[in-house]
Amino acid sequence: MTTEEIALPELLIEPDRPVLHYWRDVWRYRELFWFFVWRDLLVRYKQTVIGVSWSVLRPLATMAAFSAVFGILAKLPSHGVPYPLLVFAAMLPWNFFANALSEGAASLIGNANLMTKIYFPRIIVPAAAMAVSLIDFVISLAIMAVLMLCSGYFPDWRVAFLPLFLLLGALPMVGGGLWFAALNVKYRDFKHLVPFLLQFGLYLSPVGFTSELVPQRWRLLYSLNPMAGVIDGFRWSLLRGAAELYWPGIILSSSLSLCLLLSGIWYFRKAERVIADVI
Amino acid sequence: MPSAICVDNLGKKYTISHIRQDDSSLRELLSRGVARCGHRLLHPLSPAPAPARVSEEFWALQGVSFDIARGDRVGIIGRNGAGKSTLLKILSRITQPTTGSARVRGRVASLLEVGSGFHPELTGRENIFLNGAILGMSKGEIVKKFDEIVDFSEVETFLDTPVKRYSSGMYVRLAFAVAAHLEPEILIVDEVLAVGDAQFQKKCLGKMETVGSEGRTVLFVSHNMQAVRYLCNSAIVLREGKVACIDTPERAIDEYLRDGMVNEGGGDLAGRIAALPPDPAFRLVAIDLSQQGRGCDEVVENGQPLDLAIEYDVLQQTTGLRVYFDLCDEYGTILFRSFHDEQSDGIPVVHPGRYRSRATIPANLLGPSRYEIRVRASIFNVRACTSPEGVRIKLKVEQTGRYNKAYLGDTFRGKLAPTLSWENEAVTPLR
Q: Output the pLDDT for position B44.
A: 60
A113 part of contact set with chain B, CB < 8 Å = yes
Minimal Cβ distance to A15: which of B99, B121, B129:
B99
For B135, nearest residue in chain A (alpha carbons): A118
B115 Ramachandran zone, left/alpha/beta (phi>0; psi -120 to 50): left
Q: Taking all residues of chain B, what is their mean pLDDT, rounded to a whole number? A: 83
Least confident of A19-23, A96-100, A172-176, B73-77: A19-23
C-beta of residue B137 within 8 angstroms of C-beta of residue B110: no
Least confident of A39-43, A198-202, B5-9, B275-279: B275-279
User: What DSSP state is assigned to residue B72?
Assistant: -
**Beta-carbon count within 10 A of A134 CB:** 15
On the question of pLDDT at A24 being above 60, the answer is: yes
Q: Output the pLDDT for position A3.
A: 43
Q: Is A70 helix (H, G, I), strand (E, B) or coil?
A: helix
Q: Output the pLDDT for position B282.
A: 93
Could you report the per-residue pLDDT of A226-257, keeping only the tens digit for each? 899 999 999 999 988 777 888 888 899 999 99
User: What DSSP state is assigned to residue B333?
Assistant: -
How far apart are alpha carbons B119 and B410 in whole angstroms? 31
Could you report the per-residue pLDDT of A114-162, keeping only the tens digit for each? 888 888 889 999 999 999 999 989 999 999 999 999 988 888 889 899 9
On the question of pLDDT at B375 being above 90, the answer is: yes
Interfacial B residues in 214-273 facing A (CB < 8 Å): none
For B88, nearest residue in chain A (alpha carbons): A117
On the question of pLDDT at B222 being above 90, the answer is: no
How far apart are alpha carbons B16 and B20 in whole angstroms? 12
Which residue has better confidence, B14 or B205?
B14
B312 Ramachandran zone, left/alpha/beta (phi>0; psi -120 to 50): beta
Q: Output the pLDDT for position B406.
A: 78
B130 part of contact set with chain A, CB < 8 Å = yes
How far apart are alpha carbons B150 and B148 in whole angstroms? 5
Interchain contact, B112 vs A118, CB within 8 Å = yes
Could you report the per-residue pLDDT of B138-159, keeping only the tens digit for each? 889 999 999 999 998 888 899 9
List the one residue out of B196, B198, B201, B229 whose CA is nearest residue B398.
Answer: B229
How far apart are alpha carbons A114 and A39 in whole angstroms? 14
Report the residue of B30, B58, B121, B129 to disrupt the A interface, i.e. the one with the largest count of A CBs within 10 Å: B121
Question: Which ipTM was obtained for this model?
Answer: 0.82
Least confident of A102-111, B29-38, B330-339: B29-38
Least confident of A79-88, A111-120, B231-240, B291-300: B291-300
For B118, nearest residue in chain A (alpha carbons): A114
CATH code that applies to domain B58-258: 3.40.50.300
Sorted by where each begins, the domain ranges of chain B are: 58-258, 269-404
Look up residue B86 and give its amino acid: T
* Third-level CATH fold of B269-404: Coagulation Factor XIII; Chain A, domain 1 (2.70.50)
Interchain contact, B95 vs A276, CB within 8 Å = yes
Positive or negative torsion for Cα A27, A29, A35, A41: negative
On the question of pLDDT at A65 being above 60, the answer is: yes
Burial of A201 (0-12, 13-18, 19+ CB in 10 A): middle
Could you report the per-residue pLDDT of B86-111, keeping only the tens digit for each? 999 999 888 889 999 999 888 888 88
- Shortest alpha-carbon distance between residue A133 and chain B (Å): 20
How far apart are alpha carbons A201 and A94 in whole angstroms? 9
On the question of pLDDT at B26 being above 80, the answer is: no
Sorted by where each begins, the domain ranges of chain A are: 75-278
Task: Give the angle subtended at the CA of A187 by the CAs of A181 and A188, to the nearest 5°.
Answer: 80
On the question of pLDDT at B53 being above 70, the answer is: no
Predicted structure pTM score: 0.72
Across residues B64-74, what is the average pLDDT? 90
Minimal Cβ distance to B94: which of A11, A118, A278:
A118
For A122, nearest residue in chain B (alpha carbons): B94
On the question of pLDDT at B213 being above 80, the answer is: no
- Shortest alpha-carbon distance between residue B256 and chain A (Å): 26
B390 Ramachandran zone, left/alpha/beta (phi>0; psi -120 to 50): left
- How do beta strands B282-291 and B294-295 pair? antiparallel
Percentage above 70 pLDDT, chain B: 87
- Shortest alpha-carbon distance between residue A256 and chain B (Å): 25
Q: Output the pLDDT for position A4.
A: 46
Percentage above 90 pLDDT, chain B: 27
User: What DSSP state is assigned to residue A8?
Assistant: S
How far apart are alpha carbons A99 and A106 in whole angstroms? 11
Interfacial A residues in 8-27 facing B (CB < 8 Å): 8-17
Interchain contact, A13 vs B101, CB within 8 Å = yes
Half-sphere exposure of B249 (CA within 13 A, CB side): 21
Percentage above 90 pLDDT, chain A: 42
How far apart are alpha carbons A56 and A87 in whole angstroms? 15
Minimal Cβ distance to B139: which of A15, A31, A188:
A31
On the question of pLDDT at B391 being above 70, the answer is: yes
Top-ranked range on mean pLDDT: pick from B20-34, B92-106, B208-222: B92-106
Q: Output the pLDDT for position B154.
A: 86
Q: Output the pLDDT for position B357.
A: 94
C-beta of residue B121 within 8 angstroms of C-beta of residue B134: no
Q: Output the pLDDT for position A184.
A: 92
Which residue has better confidence, B322 or B212?
B322
pLDDT band at B264 (very low <50, low <70, confident <90, very high): very low
Across residues B265-279, what is the average pLDDT? 74
Q: Output the pLDDT for position B204.
A: 77
Q: Output the pLDDT for position B261.
A: 47
Minimal Cβ distance to B89: which of A11, A189, A276:
A276
How far apart are alpha carbons A32 and A105 in whole angstroms? 19
- How do beta strands B108-111 and B55-69 pair? unpaired
Minimal Cβ distance to A43: which of B93, B116, B121:
B121
C-beta of residue A146 within 8 angstroms of C-beta of residue A153: no
Burial of A68 (0-12, 13-18, 19+ CB in 10 A): middle
B1 part of contact set with chain A, CB < 8 Å = no
User: What DSSP state is assigned to residue B416?
Assistant: B
Helix (H) or strand (E) holding B149: helix B139-153
On the question of pLDDT at B117 being above 90, the answer is: no
Q: Output the pLDDT for position B265.
A: 40
Across residues A42-56, what is the average pLDDT? 83
Chain A hits for B126, CB-CB cut-off 8 Å, are 39, 42
